[in-house]
Every structure is written in structure tokens, then in C-alpha cells.
Amino acid sequence: MIEFQTKMNNEAVKSLTKMEKKKVMKFLIGFAVLFIAFGVLFAFILPNTSEDLKQLGIFLLVFGVIYPPIVFFIANAAQKKTNKSMKLLSEDTEVTYKFDDDKVWIIQQKGEDFKATTEAAYRYFFQVIKTKTHYFLYIANTQCHVIPKDSLVSGNLEDLDQILRRHFGTKFIEKN
């Protein structure tokens, strides 16, 4: 059996947010580049451009520059608000993950107020993403369990990788 003991705290959320931001960055930068390219094209390159198109070009150029930071500011503000409302998200919440060949056990406990135990077959999970420092066990596109590799207390990571590859196939994604 492979076992991890960790906390459900802000560090877990930060790790997940960092990974998810990388996914969104490509999309945001792509849009920003398109806005900037069309802005430069309309405002400065096309000959005999009407005044309206030049103004549109300037607007697209400015929008392309400020769009990504605005999106990240709003997303970070929303995440902070969500984190404050989550009673379980604290240093007091302990989470134990146990893996064997057929099942995963997840035990969450916050003092005497809360204890939940989940026993699940691997098919319960949508996918697993492995990074240099974490495993992310997704139960849906936007929900996952965050397991820091350095929270391993028994077993080894190589055995866990073999189990996850066997159960998830192409849905076991390794990122570096």
C-alpha cells in the first residue's frame, strides 16, 4: 500500500492554480497576439485605412495588451474569495491518501468537527496529472485532489506510477 499524509491548505490550492494557469496562458496569449496583430495592421500597416478602422486598430492594440492581466486579476480575486469561504481549507485539515492495486482511500479530517472517508475504484477518477512535485487526481475537469509527492509516508512513487499507468493509460499525464 502506498500512503500520503498531507494538509488541505492554501499550498494545495496554489499548486493547482499554478498548473491550471499554465493551461490558460496559451489561450490568453493567443488571443492577445491576435488582438495586437490586427490592431497594428488596422492602425499602422494598411494603406488608405479609414479613420474608423485606425481607431478600431488602436482599440484592439490596447485591449490586446491589457486583456491578460485583467483576466488574471479577476481570476485571482475570485479564487481568494472562494478560498476564504471554504471551511475545510486550513492547516487543521489533514488528508490521508492510500493506494493499492484496486482502490484509493481518501480520509479527510478537521479536528472533531469533520471526518470523511472515501473508498473509490480508480474508474471514479477522470484523469491523473503527475508533475515534478505533485499528483493531481481529477474527479472532473475542474475538481481534483492535490497530493504533494513529498508527503509520501509509505511505499514508493515508482509503484504508484505503475498502478496509475495501468488504470489510466493515456489519462495518466506526466508533465515536467
Mind listing the pLDDT tens digit for each residue in 102-115? 999 999 999 888 99
* Strand bridging mode 2-7 / 152-154: antiparallel
Q: Is 92 helix (H, G, I), strand (E, B) or coil?
A: coil
Q: What is the DSSP string of 62-78?
A: HHHHHHHHHHHHHHHHH
Grid cell listed for 164: 496509475
Rounded mean pLDDT, 75-103: 86
- Please say if the pLDDT value at position 156 is more than 80: yes
Whether the pLDDT of residue 85 is over 90: the answer is: no
Distance of CA 148 to the CA centre of its chain: 14
Number of residues assigned to the chain: 176
State the pLDDT confidence band at 70, using cuts at 50, 70 and 90: very high
What is the mean pLDDT of the segment spanning 67-93?
A: 84
Q: What is the pLDDT of residue 26?
A: 84
User: Whole-angstrom Cα distance, residue 32 to residue 158?
Assistant: 41
pLDDT score of 18: 76
Give the whole-number percent of the chain exceeding pLDDT 90: 62
In angstroms, how far is the first alpha carbon of the chain from the final one? 26
**Alpha helix locations (H) across the chain?**
10-40, 51-85, 157-168
Return mean pLDDT, the chain.
91
pLDDT at position 72: 84
Of 158 and 81, which is predicted with more confidence?
158
